[in-house]
Structure 1
Amino acid sequence: MQKNNYFSFLINLLYSFLKLSLVVLGLMSLVRLYIFVAYSNTFSYDVAETLAAFWLGVRLDASIVAYINAGAILLVFIVWLLNLKFLHKYLYTFFRVYFLFFLTVLTLITLMDLVYLSYFGEHATLMIFGVFDDDTQALINTAFANYNVPLFAFLLLVYFAFLSFLVFNIIKEKQALKPSWNIYKQLGFFLLLIVLTALLGRGSVSMFPLAYNIQDVSANPFINRLPQTSAYAIINSYEQYSKSKSGNYDLIKKVGYNGKIDRAFEVYMQTQEINRSDLLGNLNHKTQPNKLLQEKQPHVVVVMVESFGMPLLDYQSESFNILGRLNKHFKEDTLFTNFISASNGTIVSLEPVLLNIAARPESTSFAQSEYINTSFRQASAKVYKNAGYETTFVYGGDLSWRNIGSFALKQGFDSVAGKGTIANALGENIADISHDWGVFDGYLYKYIEQKLQNASKPQLIFVLTTNNHPPYKIPADYKSNRLEVSDDLRAHITSDISLIEQRFKDYAYAVDMAGEFLDKIKGSALAKNTVVAFTADNNTIEGNMRYENHFTQTKKVPFYLYLPEYLKPKSAINTSLASSHKDIFPTLYNLTLSDANYTCVGTNLLDESVLHCGFNDAGVIMSNDGGFEMGKATTPSQQKCQEYYKASLAVTEYLIQSHK
């Protein structure tokens, strides 16, 4: 084969790459269109902003496709440069397999991201890799219960057959182009093609690649997330996960306080008058002496309910009785209404509460890191233990989950109880009272009530429930309340209506069981000496709904308090304060303990003289002016909370590192 003819052969091979790339870009844009239609969080959009988001998305998609093409183009260039004509008959077959492999990987990555998006309402974060640390069997059961896995597998096979057909019919030998170029033009063509591919992969000629920091195109957070490409989301998530797992995690530097930690403490303390010789001493507090509490120490029960988000409660009515028996308690007692979760995942919301700190963004759980055997000085249960309490951590599932049982024992809990302990104490068969993730919540509360009734000393009981979690199973003998989905609610739902109705039933069951537990506590002698607090790990239903005010609503969870009469403050509690999980125990200490020392990165919500802000590690901040995204503060109050958040993270990390 002559050099010019061979160049024509290679040009046509490269042309087939281009045609396949355009088809792939079209498919990737269809995925983005699906996300836009299925998960849009409002009813009207600015057309220019939406088009800009789609165009930015195409550029990011093109970057991924360019990286896939880069290896193929370099191989073709080497074949041309070394005049490897003997490879002629193998090239088309090789590149069919090459592209089929990489496009299959791209498809699987996209599916992973879409599943995550359907649950959490955002593209993949490092939490997606937590699946390897989770209860694998329960996850498999969840998948089979919530999705038609056989149908999905069949459709996937059909898709891969279509993909194979596409690749094999586009990457095939045709002589569509016959350029007659000399050797120098041919070399120039290849060099130009390599440069253009590199630029397309980089996506930008500015200092940073396009994917380094995806720019905002709108004030609407959903539109800003629309351009993200699944491949980049998964790659970024894996980098964050690996960095966090390896211990190569520098949060102080990330939030801008590297080499100036004193300044972080000044911002956190809201004063320049800090203890510079003992920075951690600035985090020490003491509750007021209280003779009543000295004479009568109350039991304290703190319950973290799985996925109990607040926004759904806006639709509470007789025909949509989602709150059930908890409704009257929310009306009678104290409910903080501008309270947000520390994180979007269970373990990363739970641990900051147990450790009295702010949740650290882009980090793995302490119980699955180098800190697994660390007993943290500031752990919340230790304060009660030092005050003479018996402290118990209760989880409705297996205590091996995320190493939570062994970790809790190192954080001031005298004992831990999982589903086996609960079933045994109640005289029940585990299988009869359990779903895939643990015991049904009703049995969990029976165990707590039994433990309180039999207590001989004051109790601190921290509880983590397991209902209201996929695959959404409730006891067969439980009769659900009316849950008729109104037109208004239906208009705000973005996921499959049959699955969301199943989820509503599990949500309503979990909440109703919390209400039943309070009925029993308040209807017994325990009402006079028991404090009960309810919160939730996250509002994961956010992935299935659209909101009018996204950042103000999306992370809201309850912080509810039942207080016996003798513990109620004389002045009214301001329940509209911006707050989050970090504030739970500092508030409880000041309500239930006399003259007790504690260390925390959080605030007492009874003290209105200090700055109150809520933090979620996804970069959502709650201020008295509403919720907003990190870096998007628009009012003085929001700007103050934004700086306070960064300082709190630096202070938290400084405290954590002091245990090394």
Structure 2
Amino acid sequence: MHIQDVLPETGIEDDIWKAFLVGGRFDAKVTAIAYSPLLLSGLVAAVFHGAYRRWLTFAIGYHAVVATLYVIGCICNFYYYTTYGSYIDLFVFGLWEDDSTAVLINIWEDYPVIRSSLVALGIGALAYQTSRWFLRSRLGRINPQAYWHWGVTSLAVVAIFLSTFVTARGTLDSHPLKRYHASVSQYKPLNTVTPNVFMALEWASSDYNEQRHFEPVSEAKLSAQMEKVLGQPTPVYQTPENKYLQQNPPHVVVAMMEGMGMNILVEDNPPDNDLLGRLRPHFANGFLFRRFLAGTSGTIDSIVMTLFHSPVATISHSSAQTVALPSSSVLPYKQAGYEVAFLYGGNGMWRNLAGYLPTQGFDRIYDENDIIKAIPEAEEYSGTWGVPDGFLFQLANKILEEADKPTLLFIMTTTNHSPYEVPEIYEPGPTEISDRFAAMAEYEGEEARVLLETFQYASDALGQFMTGIKQSSTLRDNTIVAVTGDHRVRNLSTHEPTEYGLTYAVPFLLHVPNLILENAPHTYDPMRIGSHRDIFPTLYHFSLSNQDYITLGGENLLSSDGVSNVGFNLKRSINEHGAFSNDKSGLFYPWQKENPLFNQPQPEEKRPFDAGWAEEYHRLMDYYLRSQILPPKSSDSP
């Protein structure tokens, strides 16, 4: 398979040039790292004439070895791509994990091992001869008796060190050249050829070290855990039949906002401290749940837990990355004929999402490259983690306006992330550093102010997007928008007792058009409690008719029959009685009666609920994920 066979004939010239440019940076990075030991040893040897002569001989051999390894790596990467359609990834470690003899025999039979080895050795020999000739020529000959002023020598050494360091780092930005830089196009082949084999091996090694080792679980053990936690032996549920939704399937947007934590939102106090901007009327008029927990404290962790019920954050780049999970939250929409897309403000190669999400039912992945292509102005304001949220939401609106079928759009923003920076195109509204914020935040002064303004910008961009939907003649009556945060704002203390249930909380805002509400029973109680696991079950009931779905205890928070009022986070959980720790400490803080977002300052020993619930729920997630990845055991015996 050749790359040009899977690329369009026109319109990708810029992407190709970008692939070469970024690929060149990766090559320069690896080359600088490879020759750094030679540079260091040469600087030491240069002090001694005899040692330097021996070093020259060593350098020739060293260069030949590096050249040979480069060729071997390129050949391996080429055949790996032709076989698996990807640069080398963690599955290369199957040589050790599988039947090694069988794998080696397969390689010997299917690939030109001898011819490739001869080519590599030949180029290595050529590199040896050319470097040897160069050092003996007038160009490469250095007069050991030549005198250099110590200042010139020092300047040369410092310049060499700095240039090597910058080249090895790959960039002058705050983040060194990494995997997500390899995503240069919406066309996967161009992303595949961008990194060299040595970078790919480094990433594969990192993934291999991070991956979770999955063990099978018996059906009996899984069913028993389902009964214990869910009260039924399976996680399958069904939405009621709804003729209106059947005939008028709406678009569904899930916006997971970076760092939209309630531990900052409680600071909102207009007009002095405006943290919502144009999102304010939507907070006032939508279904808003404030006693709502993020599933985790990490972005990728919350994404995979929300979408796939996975307690394993590394699943998208683990040994299970090619396994399609029946529990994917987007599958009910796929089965109902929806187009399913993921829109990310950063690079799609982050955490291998561009490779993983299509396996789980996503039809299209949009990232910063697509945003910049659609809105060229975005590139000028691109920051550390991606393009500003405002441009991301512009593309989201464009996708919905141009959609020719019902669309589910899952959005992950990036702007409200440290290092905080307000885009130059935005004029912040008033913010104020309160005594509470000053006491709890790691930032102070200008840094604290920028944190608040960045939060305000992200909220304002979301508000502008929601206003546009409500004012659009094509979207206002058939577009549901759900908003939540991926996790708390990390730069605030987690140790305040009165905020024991607030620390890991995020908002859940739901906008449902009136035409849908008129045709779907619902009850809104802003004091209901929930967490990320409730997002999709709630959405299913206002967008899908008579559709099976899978959830591990998630509920429709607008149900007329009430809810269980439980919110789960890996660290802490909340229910109608208060907030409690999920560890063995047994800490429990009741809610304050006068302000039920906060807790009593002193813990209580008496807990009016099952303190082991969170542990059992986490065990259920673990069992269920393993049951989807590996065939179940026939018994519980090892």
Q: Same fold (TM over 0.5)?
A: yes
| One-letter amino acid of the counterpart of residue 298, structure 1 | P
SS of equivalent residue, structure 1 residue 527: coil
Q: Which moved more, 1:624-633 or 1:475-484?
A: 624-633
Deviation at 1:570, TM superposition (A): 4.3
Matched, 1:141 2:178: no
> What is the distance in 2 between the residues matched to 1:537 and 1:435?
19
Question: Given that residues 577 and 608 in structure 2 are in contact (C-alpha distance below 8 angstroms), is that contact kept between their aligned partners in structure 1?
Answer: no
| One-letter amino acid of the counterpart of residue 622, structure 2 | E
> What is the distance in 1 between the residues matched to 2:500 and 2:456?
24
> What is the distance in 1 between the residues matched to 2:242 and 2:355?
34
Deviation at 1:392, TM superposition (A): 0.6
Question: Given that residues 621 and 642 in structure 1 are in contact (C-alpha distance below 8 angstroms), is that contact kept between their aligned partners in structure 2?
Answer: no
Q: Cα distance 1:350–1:637, how it changes in 2: closer, same or farther (>3 A)?
A: farther
Q: Match for 2:454 among 506, 521, 538?
A: 506
1:247 is matched with which residue?
212
2:331 is matched with which residue?
382
Q: Cα distance 1:323–1:421, how it changes in 2: closer, same or farther (>3 A)?
A: same
SS of equivalent residue, structure 1 residue 469: coil
Deviation at 1:288, TM superposition (A): 0.3
Matched, 1:420 2:389: no
Matched, 1:552 2:488: no
SS of equivalent residue, structure 1 residue 504: helix
| One-letter amino acid of the counterpart of residue 322, structure 1 | L
Matched, 1:266 2:218: no
Matched, 1:434 2:403: no
Unaligned runs of 5+ in 2: 1-168, 177-205, 589-603, 631-638
2:296 is matched with which residue?
343
2:623 is matched with which residue?
654
- The one-character-per-residue Cα deviations of 1:242-262 (angstroms, maximum 9, x if unpaired) are 99835346798xxxx998544
> What is the distance in 2 between the residues matched to 1:242 and 1:637?
44
User: How is 1:21-40 mapped onto 2 (pairs within 5 angstroms)?
Assistant: none
Q: Match for 1:600 among 541, 551, 575?
A: 551
Question: Given that residues 261 and 650 in structure 1 are in contact (C-alpha distance below 8 angstroms), is that contact kept between their aligned partners in structure 2?
Answer: no
Q: Cα distance 1:557–1:595, how it changes in 2: closer, same or farther (>3 A)?
A: same
Deviation at 1:593, TM superposition (A): 0.5
1:474 is matched with which residue?
422
1:367 is matched with which residue?
316
User: How is 1:28-427 mapped onto 2 (pairs within 5 angstroms)?
Assistant: 141=174, 245=210, 247-248=212-213, 260-270=221-231, 274-275=232-233, 282-316=234-268, 317-355=270-308, 357=309, 360=311, 363-426=312-375
Q: Cα distance 1:352–1:504, how it changes in 2: closer, same or farther (>3 A)?
A: same
> What is the distance in 2 between the residues matched to 1:371 and 1:556?
30
1:531 is matched with which residue?
480
SS of equivalent residue, structure 1 residue 392: strand
> What is the distance in 2 between the residues matched to 1:435 and 1:310?
25
Deviation at 1:370, TM superposition (A): 1.2
Matched, 1:589 2:556: no
Give me the TM-score of the superposition, normalised by structure 2. Answer: 0.60
Question: Given that residues 251 and 649 in structure 1 are in contact (C-alpha distance below 8 angstroms), is that contact kept between their aligned partners in structure 2?
Answer: no
> What is the distance in 2 between the residues matched to 1:348 and 1:251?
22
> What is the distance in 1 between the residues matched to 2:608 and 2:216?
20
> What is the distance in 2 between the residues matched to 1:518 and 1:470?
25
> What is the distance in 2 between the residues matched to 1:324 and 1:534?
15
SS of equivalent residue, structure 1 residue 480: coil
> What is the distance in 2 between the residues matched to 1:518 and 1:259?
46
Unaligned runs of 5+ in 1: 1-135, 144-240, 276-281
Deviation at 1:589, TM superposition (A): 0.6
Deviation at 1:636, TM superposition (A): 11
SS of equivalent residue, structure 1 residue 591: coil
> What is the distance in 1 between the residues matched to 2:607 and 2:257?
29
Deviation at 1:638, TM superposition (A): 5.8
- The one-character-per-residue Cα deviations of 1:262-296 (angstroms, maximum 9, x if unpaired) are 442222123xxx44xxxxxx101110000100111
> What is the distance in 2 between the residues matched to 1:501 and 1:344?
23
Q: When the two structures are aligned, how many residues end up with a matched partner? A: 410
2:432 is matched with which residue?
484
Q: Cα distance 1:297–1:482, how it changes in 2: closer, same or farther (>3 A)?
A: same
Question: Given that residues 138 and 436 in structure 1 are in contact (C-alpha distance below 8 angstroms), is that contact kept between their aligned partners in structure 2?
Answer: no
SS of equivalent residue, structure 1 residue 533: strand
1:616 is matched with which residue?
569
SS of equivalent residue, structure 1 residue 552: coil
SS of equivalent residue, structure 1 residue 375: coil
SS of equivalent residue, structure 2 residue 574: strand
| One-letter amino acid of the counterpart of residue 245, structure 1 | E
| One-letter amino acid of the counterpart of residue 451, structure 1 | I
SS of equivalent residue, structure 2 residue 362: coil
> What is the distance in 1 between the residues matched to 2:553 and 2:542?
15
Larger helix share, 1 or 2: 1
Give me the TM-score of the superposition, normalised by structure 1. Answer: 0.58
Matched, 1:459 2:411: no
CA RMSD of aligned residues (A): 2.9
SS of equivalent residue, structure 2 residue 427: coil
Q: Percent identity?
A: 30
> What is the distance in 2 between the residues matched to 1:320 and 1:251?
52
SS of equivalent residue, structure 1 residue 304: strand
> What is the distance in 1 between the residues matched to 2:460 and 2:328?
30
Deviation at 1:504, TM superposition (A): 1.1
Question: Given that residues 381 and 424 in structure 2 are in contact (C-alpha distance below 8 angstroms), is that contact kept between their aligned partners in structure 1?
Answer: no
| One-letter amino acid of the counterpart of residue 579, structure 1 | G
Question: Given that residues 208 and 318 in structure 2 are in contact (C-alpha distance below 8 angstroms), is that contact kept between their aligned partners in structure 1?
Answer: no
Question: Given that residues 493 and 545 in structure 1 are in contact (C-alpha distance below 8 angstroms), is that contact kept between their aligned partners in structure 2?
Answer: no
> What is the distance in 1 between the residues matched to 2:222 and 2:498?
35
SS of equivalent residue, structure 1 residue 404: helix
- The one-character-per-residue Cα deviations of 1:479-518 (angstroms, maximum 9, x if unpaired) are 0010122345434434333322221111111111111111
> What is the distance in 2 between the residues matched to 1:287 and 1:462?
21
Deviation at 1:655, TM superposition (A): 1.8
SS of equivalent residue, structure 1 residue 394: strand
Question: Given that residues 420 and 430 in structure 1 are in contact (C-alpha distance below 8 angstroms), is that contact kept between their aligned partners in structure 2?
Answer: no
Question: Given that residues 318 and 482 in structure 1 are in contact (C-alpha distance below 8 angstroms), is that contact kept between their aligned partners in structure 2?
Answer: yes
Question: Given that residues 212 and 314 in structure 2 are in contact (C-alpha distance below 8 angstroms), is that contact kept between their aligned partners in structure 1?
Answer: no
Deviation at 1:450, TM superposition (A): 0.8
SS of equivalent residue, structure 2 residue 432: coil
Question: Given that residues 415 and 458 in structure 2 are in contact (C-alpha distance below 8 angstroms), is that contact kept between their aligned partners in structure 1?
Answer: yes
Q: Cα distance 1:388–1:627, how it changes in 2: closer, same or farther (>3 A)?
A: same
> What is the distance in 1 between the residues matched to 2:209 and 2:577?
33
2:596 is matched with which residue?
none
> What is the distance in 1 between the residues matched to 2:606 and 2:411?
34
Question: Given that residues 319 and 483 in structure 1 are in contact (C-alpha distance below 8 angstroms), is that contact kept between their aligned partners in structure 2?
Answer: yes
- The one-character-per-residue Cα deviations of 1:528-563 (angstroms, maximum 9, x if unpaired) are 110000011101345357645232110010111000
Q: Cα distance 1:248–1:570, how it changes in 2: closer, same or farther (>3 A)?
A: closer
